[in-house]
Structure 1
Amino acid sequence: MKHLYIKQKVFSISGKFTVKDEQERDVYYVEGSFMRIPKTFSILNDTRHEVALITKKTFSFLPKFFVEAGGREVITIKKEFSFFKARYTIDAAGIEVQGNWWDMDFQIIQQGQVVGKVSKEWFTWGDSYKVQILNEEMETIVFALVIAIDCVKADQAAASSASI
């Protein structure tokens, strides 16, 4: 089992942050595009090679995010039409999310087996999450899904504050 710790910088305009392991070594780098359409987030490994890419679809009635890993699209997160509460669906081949993903407290399940767990770290400056990778073959997919869900949440928060 592997643990990753995501600590986002509160005042980062471009969306850049690092992900650390148990020994506090940088293992992933997440870099968001700044002032570019479509909005993207690149996930780089410790040698700065891109392992996943998250893209927000532009010119869509409802927000939709795509996650690519290994050169192929593996996850789609899309907002469903609803009047009161924001609802999203996650479409990923053989992957299911159970729990409260809006509060970053959930499990990622593949074919009945838990492959990852996510929990929010409380009493920290900025958003901090602990990601447990239970199946290391799924590390990139699990980690990319967590970042994509966080992008969806940030997009929803930005949309809500813009409508006030």
Structure 2
Amino acid sequence: MELRIKQRVFSWTDTYDVYDEFGEPCYYVQAEFFTFGHQIHVFDKRSGQEVGSIHQRLFRFLPEFEIVVGGRSMGTIRKELSFFTPRYFVDYRGWQVQGDFLGWDYQVYQGERPVMTVSKELFHWGDTYVLRYNDIRDEIPGLLLVIAIDAANCGKD
């Protein structure tokens, strides 16, 4: 299974449209405009209901994000100090993230089980990420993880 995450270029906030493997819109991502740090919400395109959110924890040396689903904290993602390539500590569903974050080519594992791969498509107007996964239960958590890592990579002005 696959999700294609496309960033809207001309937007005041971080905004993404998310498409399924058939090119049908399935989610949209909208960041709040007047906030300190990132406050990002993910909505089901069909129902309009929020399926999860990402909240940046303030007053940290490096970016740290809390992932919330159904009003409950599901885990955190923290950028770690690294000199050459970005690294992340993931306390979320028992997942480990490995790969090239600068090149947006990484894999997510739960123990030895591969959960998903994430890659960035080149030569698009705006960022486009492809999330490939095998289990439908990993779809929304995976989408939230990708958006949180993108927020950590980009920072907030």
TM-score by length of 1: 0.84
Distance 1:102 1:135 in 2: 26
Q: Aligned partners of 1:110, 1:18: CA distance in 2, in Å? A: 27
Structure 2 length as normaliser, TM-score?
A: 0.88
Question: Within the alignment, does 1:6 sit opposite 2:21 as a pair?
Answer: no
3-state secondary structure, aligned to 1:125 = coil
Deviation of the 1:127 alpha carbon: 0.7
Distance 1:52 1:81 in 2: 27
Unaligned residue ranges in structure 1 (runs of 5+): 160-164
How far apart are residue 75 of structure 1 and its match? 2.8
Q: Is 1:28 aligned to residue 39 of structure 2?
A: no
Partner of 2:44: 45
- Tell me the CA shift for residue 87 of structure 1: 4.2
Q: 1:108 to 1:70 in 2, by over 3 A?
A: farther
Q: For 2:55 and 2:117, how far apart are their aligned partners in 1?
A: 23
Asked if the contact 1:117–1:133 (Cα under 8 Å) also holds between the matched residues in 2, the reply is: yes
Number of positions where the alignment pairs a residue of Structure 1 with one of Structure 2: 155
Q: Deviations over 1:73-127 (max 9, x none)?
A: 2231223345x44543222231111211332211111132112111111111111
SS at the partner of 2:18? strand
Change (3 A) 1:81 1:123: closer
Q: Tell me, which stretches of 5 or more residues in structure 2 are unaligned?
A: none
- 2:2/2:130 contact within 8 Å kept: yes
**SS at the partner of 1:6?**
strand
2:156 equivalent to 1:152: no
**By percentage of residues, which structure has more helix?**
1
Corresponding residue number in structure 2 for 1:139 = 139
- Name the counterpart of 1:76: 76
**C-alpha contact 1:75 1:145 (8 A) present in aligned 2:** no
Q: Residue 131 of structure 2 aligns to a residue in which SS?
A: strand
Could you tell which deviates more after superposition, 25-34 or 105-114? Answer: 105-114
Q: Distance in 1 between matches of 2:97 and 2:81?
A: 20
My pick for the range that moved more, 34-43 or 71-80, is: 71-80
8 Å contact kept, 1:29–1:48: no
Structure 1 38/125 Cα, relative in aligned 2: closer, same or farther at 3 Å?
Answer: closer
The code of the aligned residue for 2:72 comes to R
